[in-house]
Amino acid sequence: MTREVIDFSLLIVDGDNLLHRVLGGRTDGGLAWLIPRLRAALPAGARSVVMLDGGTGMGQPMRQRAAPGVEVHHSGKLDGDTAILGLLGQRPYFERARTVVVTDDRALADRVRHSGGISRRLDWFIERLDGPVSISGHGSSARRGSIGGGRAPAGPTQPDQALGSGRPAWRPGRGATRKIGNPRRRSTRMR
């Protein structure tokens, strides 16, 4: 499989979206884990901004240089999507075509494309951080990108026995957030 090559000068990462997908949420260790991988994956001359929702701790700056070519921004009172679109909108229009926004948020991706930028999903980004790796011991010979240095994503991969429902555990992807109700509660629908 060949990798898609995109010539970009700025990579904006929806940080909370990425950290939630890969680590289950934002942690201090999550950024320390992400920054060196991101720096190593950036092409020469490109820079990156990791946008996080909300503010920082007391006395902390809203923008910090985390590594050469990599900055971490906090959206403050704005939501992260609005802050990302603001960064994109500050760029001259011809430079927006060389700006990639990485997110799995469909609405944000549509707004980025409408504003003249390029959007890519998290899978595209994750593949560039570590490349494809084999996940063994999980009943699959499929190859997928993994930021975790070749380890399979954390979390159960067998049916969820904790709930006693026999349903498969939550898996990312299309339809992953479909609501099916509380499995512990008996249905009150009339039959």
- Per DSSP, the residues of 10-64 read EEEEEHHHHHHHHHSS--HHHHHHHHHHHHHHSPTT-EEEEEESS--STT--SEE
Q: CB-side exposure of 88: number of CA atoms within 13 Å?
A: 30
Confidence (pLDDT) at 140: 31
- Select the highest-mean-pLDDT range: 2-6, 26-30, 99-103, 125-129: 99-103
Residue 82 has, within 13 A of its CA and on its CB side, a CA count of 7
Q: Is residue 27's pLDDT more than 70?
A: yes
Instruction: Give the confidence band of 143 by pLDDT, cuts at 50, 70, 90.
Output: very low
- Please tell me the predicted confidence (pLDDT) of residue 62: 82
How much is the average pLDDT of 76-80?
Answer: 89
Domains of the chain, each with CATH number or no CATH = 10-129 (3.40.50), 133-171 (no CATH)
pLDDT greater than 60 at residue 141: no
pTM of full prediction above 0.75: no
pLDDT in the model for residue 127? 84
Task: Provide the token pair at 136.
Answer: 């063994």
Specify the DSSP element, H or E, that contains 158.
Answer: none
Least confident of 5-14, 22-31, 45-54, 117-126: 22-31
Give the residue, 135 or 178, on which the prediction is more confident: 178
Q: Per-residue pLDDT for 112 more than 80?
A: yes
